Structure 1
Amino acid sequence: MYQDYFGLREMPFSLTPDTQFFFDSAAHRAVLNTVLLALRHSEGFIKIVGEVGTGKTLLCRKLLASLGPEFLTAYIPNPYLTPDELKGFLAQEIGVPSSPDMPAYQLLNEIYARLVALAAEKRRVVLVVDEAQAMPRETIEALRLLTNLETEKSKLLQVVLLGQPELEDVLNRSDLRQLKQRIVFSETLGTIDRRTLADYLDFRLQSAGYRGRSLFTRGAVRLMHRASGGIPRLINVLAHKALLVSFGQGRSMVGRAQVARAVKDTTESRRLGRWLSVTPFGWTPWLAVSLLLVGVGLWWYGGTP
């Protein structure tokens, strides 16, 4: 596509959550540092909530990559597990041999013995659940019971829950109030503000091998932020499409007109920024109307004797 044209080693705005492209914004850095601090102090439950597309999975992978060898991590990308499947998964991840016909109490005893042994080796076990809002209620309760396993001084299992805002509704259920009380840290993952967006775009491009000046003009950045609402996933989609348009037109930079084409081609960005629908001249309707009114006013006053 446009990789060779713009001097890139790889696609800079891929939707794959690659830690190479983790942008260390102030908001994301604060959330990551809080979670790392909480895990190093052996806290119980940690909750991270963010809207769709705000980078929860990428943050999750960055978190897993940032934990040292003293941590043993288990990552659950698909939360649709039964309680027995959850226990079996945890047993497998921490090295407990199990079989389908093993009684539930025996499996739990084996898990506990293994967690105690790991604690004696100064190793901490962290279970990370992505898309936690979709986890069945019975499985959430089983997860809470697993965190009851502890020594006199610390928890044997720490849990990080990442989910969409619906996770708050799930945890507000009266039958899950015991779990909610165990959430020690709760963080919200925000969007990218307009002042930071240009740095975000430059960082992604440079991480993909680009070494030139900024490819996106100020007008392009402003329109992209309005149309995306600062959501990283939408930003990536729009930036990718805008680069395609610039490549197709033989341009060396991405301007407002190219971003406008990308916005028109992206349903979700049109929904967020429908008031930004762009005219053939690259103007937004309110700007076109404003200029028309100014022109009429000048003509009226200029022509009045």
Structure 2
Amino acid sequence: MYLEHFAIKELPFSLTPNTEFFLNMASYHKAYNMLMVSISNREGFIKVVGEVGTGKTMLCRKVLNTLEENPDAYISAYIANPVLSPKGLFLAFAEELGLEADSDIGHHSLLKKITKVLMQHSAEGRQVILFIDEAHAMPEKTLEALRLLTNLETEKAKLFQVVLFAQPELDDMLREKSLRQLLQRITFSYRLESLDREGLERYVSHRLATAGYNGPSVFASAALDDLYAASQGTPRIVNILCHKALMVAFGRGERVVTREHMRNAIEDTEGVALPQKNVRQFAAAGVFMVVACVALAIYLVGYYLR
């Protein structure tokens, strides 16, 4: 692997949501602050949406890690795969709360168990937050069951909060008449945006530095231009292409990732391509270089034959 070649301690562009690589850029900083303030204010439903690969799970893990630093005040429950029936969701929530419940338990008994532990946490001053990743994949009936479950409350506050992380398809679902009551429960909402060109460069440099790199820029500016054009600033695609481009450069014994290395990475990645404009510009530059080299060769031949 290229770690030793580039003097890096660990893979800088792994797809695993390692919060040590979290970059506190404007969009993520605002989202993180919004989540922490909303949680501290005990808001009912909170929603964060973003396209595939924009860093929703990373943000979720960052918030979870922050809350886990204060276990006397917060109890976090996390459901990564919400493709569940209403009862399946309740069972998953119960498990996250540390409850033991058989799959054949009755709905009323299960709800009673959940209510009891939520009341206990509330009485002891602990706030329970349920985080649901990929919430757009939840069946409509399960979303409605979740809304009904949040009716559990004391005279002063809800017994737990819900934070939904989802692709924009969730917004389409919530506009359906059958889910209008859930839509009205969402008190805070945020949309994660992709990186801009400047943000992409900071993102790449940050991940390399976090991985232990300390030296001049590894990626040539032209390589980053193509990276941005092909990825449109989507962090997951950026990670995939950077990892591949580093492998190409390593394979050729070079310590700087050039535009050619990045283009090799792009061509090797399914579903990713450069806009035609960039390809034409690169081709034109290539033609210019060929013409220039031919002209230089003709000049040199003529010079030495004089």
The question of a shared fold, defined as TM-score above 0.5 by the shorter chain, is answered with yes
Matched, 1:99 2:94: no
Q: Is the 8 A contact 1:146 1:157 kept in 2?
A: no
Q: Which amino acid aligns with 2:107?
A: A
SS of 1:213 mapped into structure 2: coil
Matched, 1:231 2:231: no
Of the three residues 236, 240, 252, the one matched with 2:243 is 240
Alpha-carbon spacing, 1:227–1:149, altered in 2? closer, same or farther (3 Å): same
Alpha-carbon spacing, 1:107–1:257, altered in 2? closer, same or farther (3 Å): same
Deviations 1:149-175 (A, max 9, x none): 111111111001111111111111100
State the shift of 1:100 in Å.
Answer: 3.5
Q: Which amino acid aligns with 2:200?
A: L
Q: Is the 8 A contact 2:79 2:93 kept in 1?
A: no
Of the three residues 139, 153, 158, the one matched with 1:150 is 153
Q: Is the 8 A contact 2:131 2:162 kept in 1?
A: yes
Deviations 1:96-147 (A, max 9, x none): 3433343312221221122111011111111111111110111111100111
User: Structure 2: any 5+ residue segments left out of the alignment?
Assistant: 290-306
Q: CA RMSD in A?
A: 2.0
Aligned to 1:302: none
Which runs of structure 1 show a deviation greater than 4 angstroms over 4 or more consecutive aligned residues?
A: 285-291
Matched, 1:53 2:48: no
Aligned to 1:186: 189
Aligned to 1:284: 282
Q: Distance in 1 between matches of 2:5 and 2:99?
A: 52
Identity of aligned residues (%): 47
Q: Distance in 2 between matches of 1:223 and 1:113?
A: 56
Aligned length: 287
Correspondence 1:1-305 to 2 at 5 A = 1-67=1-67, 68-69=70-71, 70-270=73-273, 273-277=275-279, 283-285=281-283
Q: Distance in 2 between matches of 1:285 and 1:49?
A: 38
SS of 2:271 mapped into structure 1: helix
Q: Is the 8 A contact 1:49 1:164 kept in 2?
A: yes
Compute the TM-score of the two structures, normalised by the length of structure 2.
Answer: 0.89
Q: Which amino acid aligns with 2:18?
A: D
SS of 2:38 mapped into structure 1: helix
State the shift of 1:255 in Å.
Answer: 1.8
Q: Which amino acid aligns with 2:39?
A: L
State the shift of 1:275 in Å.
Answer: 3.8
State the shift of 1:288 in Å.
Answer: 6.8
SS of 1:161 mapped into structure 2: strand
Q: Which amino acid aligns with 2:4?
A: D
Q: Is the 8 A contact 1:150 1:156 kept in 2?
A: yes
State the shift of 1:66 in Å.
Answer: 1.2
Q: Which amino acid aligns with 1:284?
A: F
SS of 1:42 mapped into structure 2: coil
SS of 2:173 mapped into structure 1: helix
